[in-house]
Structure 1
Amino acid sequence: MGSVFHGALMEVVDPHSAALYHHMTLRPYSQSVYWDREQKRAVWRIGTLTDEAYTRLVEPLQKRDTLWLTQKQCEVRLQPMEMKQAISFEELSKEAVQAELAPIGAEWQFMNVVSFKQNGRYVILPDMRLIYQSLLQRWNTFSDSVKVEDDGLIDQLTSHCRLTKYQLQSRVFSVNGSTIYGCHGWQRIGFFGYDMLKRLQGMLTAFAPFAGVGVKTALGMGAVNTEILKETV
């Protein structure tokens, strides 16, 4: 339903915004639809990476209590929108740098299908190198002041983390008549190496739920929840 809701969202925003985002290779938002087992209801989550994207996308939705899904020819009722978290790039980086202790790992929960593209082909497993590449690209594109750019940083990040536990299964995602293969589930990652490197890993982990990871994050893929671990992995 992620691609269906994205189509409905583009019909709600003004035509100029819809045309603008349609031509962007990397869009300043992510959105997804998934089933929340604890709340026993479907959740539509939208993460915006700029103030402008929030104004263009979220504010028009706040005025609505229904949404017409053209692809399904039906109307759905929207409950009042809840703001889960709002934080700037500067605040996110400051929290990571100034934390009393560097994190020693993270847990990643993939809320729906996640997939990556490498050398023109889809990669269905959540490789940390591809995850970090995805997040750094979005961070450096949409952050006005704090940039994370350093030669060899990707190599450092990926060579100083390790997979310690996981439960993953293959899944498919349909978008625009195409089927994309990916995976769903969770994994736990341990950090090691020098202090600042672990803080950068923690910062990108905290950023992931806003940006999503992998391909088609604006069309409904790549939604994640993350938890930064402070105790032994």
Structure 2
Amino acid sequence: MILAAIVLTLEGPARPDPDGWRGLVYGLLKQIDPELHNAQPNPFSLGLGGREGVWWVRVGLLQEDLYARLSPHLFGLLGQQVRLKAPFLVKAVLQEEHPWAGVSSYPRLFQGQAAPSLGLQFASPTFFRRKGNSYPLPEPRLVFESLTQRWNAFAPVKVPEELAESWERMTIARFQGQTQAIRPNADERGVGFVGRVVYHLPAATATEAQWMQALGRFAFFAGVGAKTSLGFGRVRGFDPMRKEEAADARPEAEDSASLAEPKGPGA
């Protein structure tokens, strides 16, 4: 029942190429199970972030068996040089002591305060599929239906069906962010959302609040929305009661830019 987010920190001459780091991880997945990357929903999520000179790639794992099979390959990259179009040295492989690394279990996701408000930070462009197009607004129903689908695919206990009505009455208490053009690739283009949202469930029962918080913690490993296996929809929670400083409230430009549409000359 383990969930994990493993981060590889990189040292190299420039920003890693998104196709390069996806190819690296997909190559490792193919060694384990040639069909794994075609699974729907995916039992993993990917991420890329950092800033000039200090980059990292991230693999979120939603199944204990996948963690047991893939993590030795990831830890085996420590000190190795990998090619992400350009060469990069793997300086560290972390499952703690990094803001985007962590290990938990499905039962542990229910531990902690069962509050009726939940803060989620969308750090890479997040979008949903609607009639073949990307839809970039983090509406409560879309966010929690996405999390419910992935939870029910991999967790030992399913989300109660009656909670679908709870997500319908959920509101947004605070919203700060922006849309961002998605970097074109072979099968995706459009816009996504980056920023911070505080969700609130009016008159939440103890069960509703408990599931709301568990799914919010699950989002850290699973991601939200479409194409999480390509680095989109990377999410983590924040304390909705903490007064945010202006710098804290800004989207993580150095993280989200890796998947964003590059600006043209003079932009």
TM-score by length of 2: 0.73
- The one of 213, 217, 227 equivalent to 1:206 is 217
CA offsets, 1:155-204, max 9 Å, x none?
31231332323222323133336424212222222332223212211111
Are 1:31 and 2:41 matched, yes or no? no
- The one of 97, 106, 114 equivalent to 2:118 is 106
Amino acid at match of 1:223: R
Output the aligned Cα RMSD.
Answer: 2.5
User: How far apart, CA to CA, are the structure 1 residues paired with 2:115 and 2:240?
Assistant: 6
Amino acid at match of 2:71: V
User: How far apart, CA to CA, are the structure 2 residues paired with 1:12 and 1:200?
Assistant: 33
Secondary structure of the residue aligned to 2:227 is coil
Amino acid at match of 2:129: K
The runs of 5 or more residues in structure 2 that have no matched partner are 1-16, 97-101, 245-267
Report the counterpart of residue 190 of structure 1 in structure 2.
Answer: 200
Residue 62 of structure 1 deviates from its aligned partner by 0.6
Distance 1:158 1:45, change over 3 A: farther
Secondary structure of the residue aligned to 1:179 is coil
Are 1:49 and 2:59 matched, yes or no? no
Report the counterpart of residue 81 of structure 1 in structure 2.
Answer: 93
- The one of 15, 20, 26 equivalent to 1:10 is 26
- Retained in 2: the 8 A contact 1:160–1:193? no
User: How far apart, CA to CA, are the structure 1 residues paired with 2:29 and 2:62?
Assistant: 17
Q: Taking every aligned residue pair, what percent have the same amino acid on both sides?
A: 23
- Retained in 2: the 8 A contact 1:110–1:223? yes
Residue 11 of structure 1 deviates from its aligned partner by 2.1
Secondary structure of the residue aligned to 2:182 is strand
- Worse-superposed segment, 126-135 or 78-87: 78-87
User: How far apart, CA to CA, are the structure 2 residues paired with 1:122 and 1:14?
Assistant: 28
Are 1:146 and 2:162 matched, yes or no? no
Q: Which has the higher contact order (CA 8 A, sep 6+)?
A: 1
User: How far apart, CA to CA, are the structure 2 residues paired with 1:177 and 1:4?
Assistant: 16
User: How far apart, CA to CA, are the structure 1 residues paired with 2:72 and 2:230?
Assistant: 19
Q: Any residues of structure 2 matched to 1:62-73 within 5 Å, and which?
A: 62-64=75-77, 65-69=80-84, 72=85
User: How far apart, CA to CA, are the structure 2 residues paired with 1:198 and 1:30?
Assistant: 25
The runs of 5 or more residues in structure 1 that have no matched partner are none
Secondary structure of the residue aligned to 1:78 is strand
User: How far apart, CA to CA, are the structure 1 residues paired with 2:107 and 2:151?
Assistant: 11
- Retained in 2: the 8 A contact 1:104–1:229? no
Amino acid at match of 1:87: S
Residue 221 of structure 1 deviates from its aligned partner by 0.8
TM-score by length of 1: 0.83
Number of equivalenced pairs: 220
